[in-house]
């Protein structure tokens, strides 16, 4: 197949156009729509760096070499680093940039040591290996993060595939410099490899931006769902979400998995509200929840049933285990008075515990026993654990 310069230049222009368009879209997402602004801004900068690099590459020979060689190589490496930072922010809510910045710095310094004359094979190898490394690092980081999710809606395989394909494409470009030195560094040269490489770049630029957009939208949906199932004051599950978790736990109990409930009620909460005000009451509830968090495992479910009453669902736990957890909670609340208006206000809570039993037709029976135990703890002097 005969490859012409027009084909390679057209494909190069197509990749530039797609990257430039993606830059505008991600900027709008970051600055106007405010959807995942940090990740969106990183993606905008990544696409802008790629578009700038390829534009400078296309203008080699027309502009001074000082502007079109080293800056072009540095920009394309930077675009991979920014892409990795964006993906990290989408999947982990953290901008993982230190390792990527180190790769960019090392590559930039290495390129400065080489003269931009001759066949430029070593410059191309450095750029390709750096790009492949950054894409691979981003893909592995995203796969590890998504693999730890428990809701199953964000499968790591299809979402990280574009990153691994980018790593393969850049790795192939590095290999090509050994097989056919002198031609690959200039993407405008009409070779079969350059044609395939540019087609791959065009498709992967589209695919990676589409995948990133999907991940951002999924993160937004999950955040909305979380807001719908969380109590706005304490961050615990609201009553509807907790009831759903309780029903699910009871369905598991019918299949052989036990569970226990710990009902929690802050003592003398009305008196605290009447004396110090509702703001102090809210602060007391938030503080109590924070004090109790060390006792809650990742598999447990902690919800606010209403007012100052909370419930902890302990999976795979019997009455003895629930009693130990409740007693530790009771001590933690008692040992942390509320600091309000320059004075300490003592806090305590009462606890009622119950476990699922074979005769329980549904979860309401277990909840009723835990509530009855809580009532006994209240009537017997408060700051107690009762089963």
Query: In terms of domains, do 38 and 184 share one?
Result: yes
Which residues neighbour 255 within 8 Å (Cβ) at sequence distance 6 or greater? none
- Give buried/exposed letters for 100-121 (b at 16+ CB in 10 A, else e): beebbeebbebbeebeeeeebb
Query: In terms of domains, do 187 and 287 share one?
Result: no
Answer with the one of 183, 202, 228 that is the final residue of a domain. Answer: 228
Q: What is the reported pLDDT for 359?
A: 86
Mean pLDDT calculated for residue range 366-379:
94
Instruction: Give per-residue pLDDT as tens, 154-181.
Output: 566 677 899 999 999 999 999 998 888 7
What's the total number of domains in the chain? 2
Query: In terms of domains, do 307 and 261 share one?
Result: yes
Q: What does pTM read for this prediction?
A: 0.70
Query: In terms of domains, do 187 and 47 share one?
Result: yes
Mean pLDDT calculated for residue range 196-200:
95
pLDDT band at 1 (very low <50, low <70, confident <90, very high): low
Query: In terms of domains, do 201 and 243 share one?
Result: no
The residue ranking higher by pLDDT, 148 or 191, is 191
pLDDT mean across residues, the chain: 91
Q: By mean pLDDT, which of 27-36, 46-55, 139-148, 263-272 is the weakest?
A: 139-148
CATH of the domain at 197: 1.20.1070
pLDDT band at 95 (very low <50, low <70, confident <90, very high): confident
Instruction: Give per-residue pLDDT as tens, 25-48.
Output: 999 999 998 888 999 999 999 999
Residue 171 belongs to domain spanning: 5-228
Nearest 10 degrees: CA dihedral of 172, 175, 180, 185? 70
Residue 234 lies in a domain: no
150: pLDDT strictly greater than 60: no
CATH of the domain at 284: 3.30.70.270
Query: In terms of domains, do 105 and 208 share one?
Result: yes
User: At residue 56, what are phi and psi to the nearest 5 degrees?
Assistant: -65, -40
Query: In terms of domains, do 220 and 270 share one?
Result: no
Query: In terms of domains, do 322 and 206 share one?
Result: no
Q: What is the reported pLDDT for 211?
A: 92
Query: How is residue 257 annotated by DSSP?
Result: -
Closest to 264 in 3D by CA, of 310, 328, 231: 310
Query: In terms of domains, do 152 and 209 share one?
Result: yes
Answer with the one of 198, 228, 258 that is the final residue of a domain. Answer: 228
Q: By mean pLDDT, which of 58-67, 83-92, 211-220 is the weakest?
A: 211-220
Query: In terms of domains, do 23 and 167 share one?
Result: yes
Answer with the one of 171, 195, 228 that is the final residue of a domain. Answer: 228
């Amino acid at each position: 197949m005969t490859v012409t310069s027009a084909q390679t230049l057209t494909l190069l222009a197509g990749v530039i156009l797609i990257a430039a368009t993606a830059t505008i879209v991600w900027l709008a997402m970051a600055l106007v729509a405010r959807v995942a602004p940090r990740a969106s801004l990183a993606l905008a900068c990544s696409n802008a760096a790629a578009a700038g690099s390829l534009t400078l590459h296309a203008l080699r020979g027309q502009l001074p070499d000082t502007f079109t060689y080293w800056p072009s190589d540095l920009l394309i490496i930077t675009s991979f680093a920014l892409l990795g930072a964006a993906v990290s922010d989408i999947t982990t809510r953290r901008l993982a940039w230190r390792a990527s910045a180190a790769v960019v710095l090392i590559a930039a310094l290495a390129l400065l040591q080489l003269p931009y004359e001759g066949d430029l094979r070593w410059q191309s190898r450095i750029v390709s290996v750096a790009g492949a490394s950054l894409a691979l690092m981003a893909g592995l980081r995203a796969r590890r993060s998504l693999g730890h999710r428990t809701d199953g809606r964000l499968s790591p395989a299809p979402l990280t595939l574009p990153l691994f394909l980018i790593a393969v494409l850049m790795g192939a470009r590095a290999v090509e410099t050994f097989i056919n030195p002198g031609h690959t560094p200039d993407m405008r040269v009409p070779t079969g490899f350059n044609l395939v490489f540019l087609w791959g770049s065009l498709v992967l630029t589209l695919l990676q931006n589409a995948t990133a957009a999907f991940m951002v939208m999924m993160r937004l949906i999950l955040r909305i769902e979380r807001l719908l199932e969380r109590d706005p004051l304490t961050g615990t599950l609201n009553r509807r979400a907790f009831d759903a978790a309780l029903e699910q736990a009871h369905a598991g109990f019918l299949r052989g998995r036990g569970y226990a409930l710990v009902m929690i009620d802050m003592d003398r909460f009305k008196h605290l509200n009447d004396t110090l005000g509702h703001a102090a009451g809210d602060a007391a509830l938030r503080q109590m929840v924070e004090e109790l968090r060390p006792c809650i495992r990742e598999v447990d479910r902690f919800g606010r049933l209403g007012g100052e009453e909370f419930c902890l669902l302990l999976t795979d736990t019997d009455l003895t285990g629930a009693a130990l957890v409740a007693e530790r909670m009771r001590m933690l609340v008692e040992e942390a008075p509320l600091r309000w208006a320059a004075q300490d206000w003592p806090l305590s809570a009462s606890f009622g515990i119950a476990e699922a039993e074979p005769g329980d037709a549904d979860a309401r029976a277990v909840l009723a026993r835990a509530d009855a135990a809580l009532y006994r703890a209240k009537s017997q002097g408060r700051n107690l654990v009762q089963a």
